[in-house]
Chain A
Amino acid sequence: MEDFEYLQALLGGEELPEVTTAFRDIWVLTDGAPEGLKVVDRARNLAETLGARVQVVLIRGEETADLIAAGADRVHLAAGYPESGADLAGDTEAALNALAPFLEEAAPEFILCADDWLGQELAPRLAQRLGAGLATRCLELTINENDRTLVAVRPVYQGDYYEVVNFAPHWPQMATLITAPLSQPYLDPHREGETEVLKPGLSAASRVRVLGETVLPETPLSLSRAAIVVTGGAALGVAGFEKLADLARRLGGAMAGAREAFELGWVEKDQLVDVTGHKVAPRLYMAFGVAGDVMHTAAIKEAKFVVAVHPDPGAPILAQADLGIVGDPCEVIDQLIAAL
């Protein structure tokens, strides 16, 4: 018997148990953003394992061709709902009121979406309404072959390590996916799929109203709290610091200076990264024209990922960095700003 199982495993012929519940298919929620295609692609892979179909709810627009090409078997259009013409993609509560009763009736086995506003705002509330388990910000999804439950791998402590999440045998099961590391899906123009107009059961007035636009004044991020820190050193030159400030703004990070830059008066004391100034622990640390003596590297040893740019190939910081570029830091900053 064991031999038989071994042989079956070798041949890849292990069959998943049949669905015994009323819950069917993998459903993907998307607002038409490119991330949605990546989720459909992932759903397609899982659907092959499960022998299920991929159904998509498109919340905004009517562009179904790419969704079908990426792997959708059926696309439900929610555009134009409710009749007032309100944009479901702009109003989580309206989207929830429209989709929850529809999905409850459709009884999906699994519901997936990207980790954008759908994943962050809609998914937890939808999960609670449907009584579904949820794993957010997943990197990897597989199916437990014994009972058709999801197994998710997701980062904790900002990616320090990952946790494996098991689902109880209770459906629907929901997950949101981090889409950035996923490759662009292959679009098969000859794939066929159906399109249907979604007819949700009820329309409830939203209790949330947008009053107007605002752009919050930018408060300088304190170095110790910033997730991204960009630092300039002597080799950047005083003119480079303006560009550096621009780069910091674009990245949503904080600008800092190494000791030489501080001594030259290019940055303030509260922007000094050094053992004598601030120690920093950002997720991303970028050093431009910083030579990187011990006083500096000791202050950044808790940084998760270090990028260094220096004209001198022998600069110590290049040996310490995860990624290094030998070259003029000003030029690199210009190119970076252009590429972002």
Chain B
Amino acid sequence: MEDKNKQLDNLLNEAEDLRKNIGNRLHDDLTEGIYVDAAKIVGDSVYTKDKKRAFRMDRAIDNIVTSRIWGFPIMLLLLGIVLWITIIGANYPSRMLSTLLIDIVYPFLKGVGESLHFPVWLSGILIDGVYLATAWVVAVMLPPMAIFFPLFTLLEDFGYLPRVAFNLDNLFRKAGAHGKQALTMSMGFGCNAAGVVATRIIDSPRERLIAIITNNFSLCNGRWPTQILIATIFIGAVVPEGLSHIVATGSVIGIAVLGIGFTFLVSWFLSKTMLKGEASFFVLELPPYRPPRIWQTIYTSIIDRTLVVLGRAVMFAAPAGAVIWLISNIDIEGQSIAVWAINAFDPFALFIGLNGVILLAYIVAIPANEIVIPTILMLTVLSINSITGGSGAGVLFDGNEPEVANILHAGGWTLLTGINLMLFSLLHNPCSTTIYTIYKETGSVKWTTVATVLPIIMGFIVCFLVTQLWHLFA
């Protein structure tokens, strides 16, 4: 054994000597050797009929979608079409679902609770809390997701994402970041946790950290419905009926583009300060366009993405519903905890153009962005009730858009609140799953904290500035 170890040491020493001798030539010699072999093998077994024709279609499409002039407009147009179909299409099923779950099932469950002589707290937690929050998540989230995800997946299957990366590469390099960040950013539009994991395709640790920290600026699927709903209610409502869908779509695109803008800005900032360095070189392969298999894509994206995300939302919504009911119904000195919290947050929140309900909702909804809107609605109804002396904190409302609008207007919301909520939904801490993923990927408390706190601070600043400008001009 001893002898063998000695022999191994000798061998390793010899290898080291040879290595110094050969040095950098090794890589070139090897690669060259492999290429010569590969070329020879291919020459003997591959026959190409007409070299000119091959991949002609692909190149023709690429010349358009990655061209200097048309690249960006086409990107925005495609995003616009996807969002527009989502906004138009989600409306009707959303209304049906909320009628079913909230107008029909909810009173039925209440009735069952009564006939079983549930104590008030039990039916409160279970039906007013857990059930209602869950029902809200399903009614608000399911239709937009069931439309948005398949459309997005079709684009992905077709091979469009690498073209987006190609278009954005130059901008990323100017920001001192890695061009592949365009891909992880696109993944973030689905789910930030997935986007953070996807940064493993970036080799340089510096550029990878930048990609991780800025991934949160990609609107994730938990936030698209919030954007779409608020845009429809507040921004779509200030223009004539015929234009409302287009304007709402435009404003959601605006927020998404703003997020991309923040990605560049923060990447640039980080690469000039905390993460100094030059952008590294990389090769990106533009894969062939493949005709998407439409039915299979729709099926798998509904099973894989929509139901998984919805399941996660429901899992977090159920306990959050219980928490909302509890903080709304446990009184301290004649006022519920929620009202105390809302009142405590209000001065600061109103100062930056939001309100206490929104901040409290974002705290309750740290586990999942998906439940922000339901939480806001339940808390708003609750605080209206406590002001008007409505009967208890039993929460009952219809789920369609005008009704949601009425609730929010009654809660003192204005167009400014709506805009600020959209901005804050873009700029706030990542959800707890993403935070945990960032910690797992970076293994660093410091960078996890930066990735968590930085967006909140930016959110506060941006909302504050918008509010000041609004008051200045309005």
- A and B from one assembly? no
Which residues does A use to contact B, with CB under 8 Å?
none
